[in-house]
Structure 1
Amino acid sequence: MSDAPSPTMSYSYLGPAGTFTETALGQVEAARGQAWSPVNNVGEAFADVISGRSVAAMIAIENSIEGGVSATQDALASVPGLRIIGEYLVPVNFVLVGRPGTTLTDVKVINAHPVAYAQCRGWLETALPDHGHIPATSNVTAASALLLNDHAEAAVAPPGITAHYDLDVLAEDIGDNPNAVTRFVLVSRIRAIPPRTGADKTSLIVELPDDHAGALLEMLEQFSTRGVNLSLLESRPIGDALGRYRFVIDADGHIEDERVADALLGLRRFSPQVIFLGSYPRADKQPIEFTSRYDDEVFIEARDWLRGIITAEPVDREPVDADAVGGR
């Protein structure tokens, strides 16, 4: 058996170095010691994965202040063959930086990624009520652009940015919400589903079959009648006509949980387009809570009961007392 080290694998992330996405990738044990490839946008990250240039890509998908990241949600709906294999949480705060020698009174125009700008808007409007805003493609790009041109005097950037660029910190902790968190997902072509842990999440994208009164309720009933809670439900336009939407869904539980599997079967019968994005452990490791009548044993006993009726075979299994199962 050869003792040669395994080939280095590459992981893509929204760069350049110093972004919150890079921080999220640092939480992936398998990525440590491997090659990391900074990319400019979500499309480039997914292209790396599809082509095999990278084994996986770290992408922001949701922020506790601004909600879902639409570019990621739309890309997941349009790029086939991708799976989410993990999620990671990064606390988010910002500093205001400027070129050396800049003071807060000098600032008239600010570079900032739109999401970061929205999270700091209250502070900025109070401290710099007359400022202008130039959108940037990333938080680090906003800061690095200060050294390339003089269109702005300051930038909203991640803490620690001065370790990468010769900039002065003009103000710290400028985020409006100190509890802000961004959720990232690791996306891969790997088809194997991580084993269930009891603290899992299942992500889907679902289209309504047609536009009629109660269609959304019918979709949601696929989950509610199986006791499956939704931690995310967002609509995104499909783009082929006004009023046509798809829904990005995070359901509590794993596809191997009987209640989740049954909900997905109901969805598949209901909708012409269901995209399974993955079942994976929750970043917060919080166990999923549900009432005992939705325990796996209840679904299994019901299927055995029905099979016994159809096949006229005796069923050895005793009826399940839902109140006695699981103790949830």
Structure 2
Amino acid sequence: MANIRDVARMANVSIATVSRVINGSENVSDETRKKVLNAMKKLNYKPMMSFKTNERQLFKTIGILFPDIRGYHYSDIVMAIEEYAYSKGFDIMLALPKGEPDLEKHVLDQYFRRKVDGVIIGELYGGQKLIDRFVKSAIPMVVVDFAVEEINFDIVSVDNVGGGYAAIKHLYNNGHKKILFIPGPDNSPAALDRERGMRRFLDKVTGKDKVEIYYGTHRGYNSEHGWVSVTRHLQEHGLNFTAIFAVNDWAAIGAIDALKDQGLKVPDDVSVIGFDDAPFANYTNPRLTTVMQPRWEMGTTAAQLLIERILEKKTRLPRNIILPTKIVERESVKDIKPSE
């Protein structure tokens, strides 16, 4: 069984240098770090737990960090990860920092000190800098549903840009050219990508085909953001739109409630499209048209990629897997194109 001395010998460096690489220290050149990591891979060396014992970790553990598991999105992803990891003999540790950057940093520090075998990370509101330490260490990592600047690790994401594009195009194809958009948090990469996709389609339609977009007053993923945005817009501007595109299905539900409070019917007076294809979307009245995300596939794919990284000895290039979205047509969008 290989130890830290074997790694140092193969990489032709000191034991202290190996230790610095394992702990993600900045005081190691990129060339030296690469030599040490390659030696660890070839020797299948895993750092020991930081307990006062020389026993190796008996069970392999994956650290998971997601903002929260309220609702359905992250909970479905986490369940898929757990199911696949359990089938491969891995335990999981789950942390939910609720979008607080300080808590995100604390959790990642704990995972690092506990020497988990790998990490799966969802959206980081504190930004990519929080995971630089993992990139520089020997701990495998997969990022899920989180936009990154450089692909230094495996990534599993949904085509949020394409989904936003498809949602606004669907409204346009049904004759809607005055649309109220309920945006997500401005520090959420997924929400910004959906908005970016919407804008990409709008840039293509000009002149008499131009679409007018009004922005909701409240950014967010919760139902109250949809309710407040619609209520305030109607109070300040009246009904100057024919459709609503909500950043997710919770916001869409809030928007529908606000419309009903004002005596407006969906889709007769206003059409609504959401994003996610939440479990409840098929049971609303009317049933909600939305953009489907393959959440279970995201979790399973992330766990599969990470466990392959942990178990394999050879080094391979980082993989960037983008899963497609698709429109699920139900009854909340009405075709208002004039009959020919």
TM-score by structure 1 length? 0.27
Q: Larger % of helix: which? A: 2
Q: Larger % of strand: which? A: 1
